[in-house]
């Protein structure tokens, strides 16, 4: 007992108590400051863990140094024993001190090991395995009541969370259009994941209470129905706090999936798109309605939402991109913003406004890319669209536009790369496979083309387009009877008065079907029957040049085929029908046509329609990149 009392006196004499208290307070302050800084700058979780670990490890080191040394007027010196100490007492004090330090280190190590193992158990999908599949479907956020009709705020936050996560390069985020199909569904999570082709599901709900909002979210492995991460956030109902929650959720999901965010990604997933929540909700309504619109009235309603959004925040870049895309849809070329007390804007001006407000916004670059596509500036369009996919790798619209451009300009392999991404990111959208089956067909993968076209048709998405794709694939595969049966069924529907949409370049769908039948019958050797369908086309006063050209080429009437292709207006070479039918000839025997010198002149004209060199290369390319089809 006497030795222990002497030991505690020795601790006091050597200032162990004082240094321990000062060290503890200082360490606590450092942790608080570091926590605030980490949240502000979006630091990954390991940063705080490292800081706390270093502080804990530093404590026994500080105690050892305090025991061994003291600060004197002459400087730092080794601590000397007191006068009334005997060697025996000093030895006991030293022994007790080192025993205490050893126990402290053992406790720190044991605590670290326990917490690490506990974390590994609770988050085994994030820690105990190397996560390589980071495909995510963020299901529509629910109101806390569980109603299938979401709060406008929930819709906006769902769209915002998707946008933030899509900015992370290592994540594959399914587009809103596709996940929206599962709102209120009774399907299980594994069934939803299988349908969308994803490894992870994000679920959440939103509760609004006067001026407060609570957001709950969780990242789930649907194969085990086990949450990988959960989070609950309560903040004031204002733009700054709500978007801060969204940024935190996106950051935590990325961390749970072992994604190391770049500085650019951190900035893009934590920023606020607008300081007006109502403006954001109106934008989301406009964008959603615009993508689903099937008539002029719905398009106009979508436009009105963009107008209202900009009325509340004229600096809202996303709303300007929505407006630019809507103007470019073709129905609103003379649209006026008089009611906003703003000058009239064109599609180009709206896109430029968005880019000026947000130079690193993927949607703005995509809108500008679409402007260049409409203007026939292929080189500038590709530059903008590539920039968009760099900023937001999971932005399906940019990939779709790139794929479409590459397909139209004789780069089917590049087109296929982007169009496959489109199908992965937005499998439920009506345009998800719009050009994919033709890209497969042109690259020599006819079986895959047929499968994709039939899948599109079975989903009821762009059904007539898919039927055309199915007929083309059957033709290439030599399945002429099936192709004939399907084509004739479509003509019977047309003759019975069924509604047929304009297909491409002003041509009715049934005109193309007749041209396909000419080609199929000619390939079978039934020239007489083929000529009957060609005569039907010629007899129509409004039959367009391209179906006629296909029909003539199928019967080796090359002069007539060239004559009709020459009638195609320059701007129409930027449409998929004339361009693909000329370049690839994948629905007729194009060999005789391609051997004619005038064919090369037609290809050069089609290339110039995109602002490309005659050989199809971009103006800035020094070495030509031929793009005249196969």
Structural domain contains residue 167: yes
Structural domain contains residue 624: yes
CATH of the domain at 221: 3.40.50.10070
- The CA-based diameter of the chain, rounded to the nearest angstrom, is 126
Length of the chain: 630
3-class state of residue 20 by DSSP: helix
The number of beta carbons lying within 10 Å of the beta carbon of residue 236 is 10
Shared-domain flag, residues 287 and 262 = no
Structural domain contains residue 501: no
Q: What integer pLDDT is reported at residue 126 of this predicted model?
A: 36
* 426: its two tokens: 């937005």
Which residues, at least 6 apart from 244, have a Cβ–Cβ distance to it below 8 Å? 235, 270, 272
For the chain, percent of residues with pLDDT exceeding 90? 44
Dist. CA 265–CA 254, nearest whole Å? 11
Q: What integer pLDDT is reported at residue 260 of this predicted model?
A: 87
pTM: 0.74
Dist. CA 202–CA 217, nearest whole Å? 7
Structural domain contains residue 604: yes
CATH of the domain at 354: 1.25.40.10
Shared-domain flag, residues 592 and 538 = yes
Q: What integer pLDDT is reported at residue 333 of this predicted model?
A: 39
* 178: its two tokens: 């596709």
Structural domain span for residue 80: 2-122
Specify whether the CB–CB gap between 154 and 143 falls below 8 A. Answer: yes
Of 322, 345, 366, the residue that ends a domain is: 366
| DSSP string of 428-441, one letter each residue | TSTTTTTTHHHHHH
Shared-domain flag, residues 559 and 591 = yes
Structural domain contains residue 488: no
Give the burial class of 165: count Cβ atoms within 10 A of its Cβ; 0-12 exposed, 13-18 middle, 19 or more buried: buried
Structural domain contains residue 247: yes
Structural domain contains residue 371: no
Mean pLDDT by 10 residues, the chain (630 residues): 62 74 83 70 61 79 75 66 52 61 67 48 38 85 61 82 91 89 87 91 87 90 89 88 90 90 87 91 89 76 90 95 84 44 74 96 96 94 96 94 95 96 87 88 96 88 85 96 94 62 57 94 95 91 86 95 94 89 90 94 95 90 44
Shared-domain flag, residues 24 and 84 = yes
Shared-domain flag, residues 230 and 259 = yes
Shared-domain flag, residues 224 and 324 = no
Shared-domain flag, residues 94 and 187 = no
Count of structural domains, the chain: 4
Predicted confidence (pLDDT) per residue in 587-599, tens digit: 888 999 999 999 9
Of 93, 122, 151, the residue that ends a domain is: 122
* 284: its two tokens: 């989301």
Shared-domain flag, residues 555 and 597 = yes
Structural domain contains residue 186: yes
Shared-domain flag, residues 86 and 140 = no
Shared-domain flag, residues 142 and 263 = yes
Q: What integer pLDDT is reported at residue 469 of this predicted model?
A: 92
Predicted confidence (pLDDT) per residue in 459-500, tens digit: 877 778 889 999 999 999 999 999 999 999 988 876 655 544
Shared-domain flag, residues 300 and 246 = no
Dist. CA 22–CA 35, nearest whole Å? 20
Of 218, 247, 270, the residue that ends a domain is: 270
Q: What integer pLDDT is reported at residue 625 of this predicted model?
A: 41
Shared-domain flag, residues 144 and 266 = yes
């Amino acid at each position: 007992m006497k030795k222990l009392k002497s030991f505690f006196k020795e601790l006091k004499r050597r200032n162990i108590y004082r240094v321990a208290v000062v060290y503890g307070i200082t360490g606590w302050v450092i942790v608080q400051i570091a926590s605030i800084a980490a949240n502000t700058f979006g630091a990954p979780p390991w940063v705080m863990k490292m800081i706390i670990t270093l502080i804990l490890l530093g404590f026994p080191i500080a105690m050892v140094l305090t025991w061994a040394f003291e600060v004197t007027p002459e400087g730092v010196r080794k601590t000397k024993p007191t006068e009334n100490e005997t060697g025996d007492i000093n030895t006991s004090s030293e022994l007790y001190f080192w025993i205490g330090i050893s126990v402290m280190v053992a406790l720190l190590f044991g605590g670290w090991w326990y917490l690490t193992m506990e974390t590994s158990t609770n988050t085994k999908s994030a820690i105990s395995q190397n996560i390589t599949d980071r495909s995510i479907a963020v299901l529509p956020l629910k109101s806390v009541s569980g109603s299938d009709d979401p709060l406008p705020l929930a819709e906006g936050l769902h769209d915002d969370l998707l946008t933030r996560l899509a900015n992370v390069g290592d994540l594959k985020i399914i587009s809103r259009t596709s996940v929206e199909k599962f709102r209120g569904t009774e399907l299980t999570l594994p069934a939803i994941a299988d349908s969308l082709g994803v490894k992870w599901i994000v679920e959440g709900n939103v509760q609004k209470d006067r001026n407060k909002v609570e957001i709950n979210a969780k990242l789930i492995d649907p194969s085990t129905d086990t949450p990988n991460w959960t989070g609950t956030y309560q903040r004031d109902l204002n733009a700054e706090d709500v978007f801060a929650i969204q940024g935190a959720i996106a950051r935590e999901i990325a961390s749970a999936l072992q994604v190391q965010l770049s500085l650019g990604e951190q900035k893009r997933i934590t920023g606020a798109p607008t300081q007006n929540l109502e403006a954001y909700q109106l934008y989301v309504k406009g964008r959603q309605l615009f993508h689903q619109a099937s008539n002029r009235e719905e398009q106009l309603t979508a436009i009105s939402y963009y107008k209202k959004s900009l009325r509340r925040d004229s600096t809202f870049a996303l709303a300007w991109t929505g407006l630019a895309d809507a103007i470019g849809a073709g129905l609103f070329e003379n649209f006026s913003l008089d009611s906003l007390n703003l000058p009239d804007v064109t599609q180009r001006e709206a896109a430029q406004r968005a880019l000026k407000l947000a130079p690193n916004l993927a949607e703005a670059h995509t809108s500008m890319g679409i402007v260049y596509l409409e203007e026939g500036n292929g080189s500038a369009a590709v530059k903008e669209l590539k920039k968009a996919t760099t900023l937001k790798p999971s932005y399906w619209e940019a990939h779709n536009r790139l794929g479409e451009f590459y397909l139209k300009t004789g780069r089917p392999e590049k087109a296929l790369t982007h169009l496959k991404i489109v199908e992965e990111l937005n499998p439920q959208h009506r345009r998800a496979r719009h050009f994919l089956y033709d890209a497969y067909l042109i690259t020599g993968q006819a079986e895959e083309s047929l499968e994709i076209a039939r899948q599109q048709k079975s989903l009821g998405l762009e059904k007539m387009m898919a039927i055309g794709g199915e007929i083309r694939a059957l033709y290439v595969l030599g399945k002429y009877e099936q192709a004939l049966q399907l084509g004739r069924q479509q003509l019977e529907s047309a003759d019975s008065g069924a509604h047929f949409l304009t297909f491409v370049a002003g041509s009715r769908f049934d005109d193309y079907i007749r041209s396909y039948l000419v080609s199929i019958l000619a390939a079978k050797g039934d020239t007489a029957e083929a000529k009957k369908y060609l005569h039907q086309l010629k007899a129509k006063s409004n039959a367009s040049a391209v179906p006629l050209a296909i029909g003539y080429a199928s019967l080796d009437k090359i002069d007539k085929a060239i004559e009709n292709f020459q009638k195609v207006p320059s701007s129409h070479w930027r449409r998929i029908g004339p361009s693909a039918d000329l370049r690839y000839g994948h629905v007729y025997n194009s060999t005789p046509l391609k051997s004619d010198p005038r064919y090369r002149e037609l290809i050069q004209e089609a290339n110039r329609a995109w602002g490309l060199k005659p050989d199809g290369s971009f103006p800035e390319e020094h070495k030509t990149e031929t793009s005249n089809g196969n």
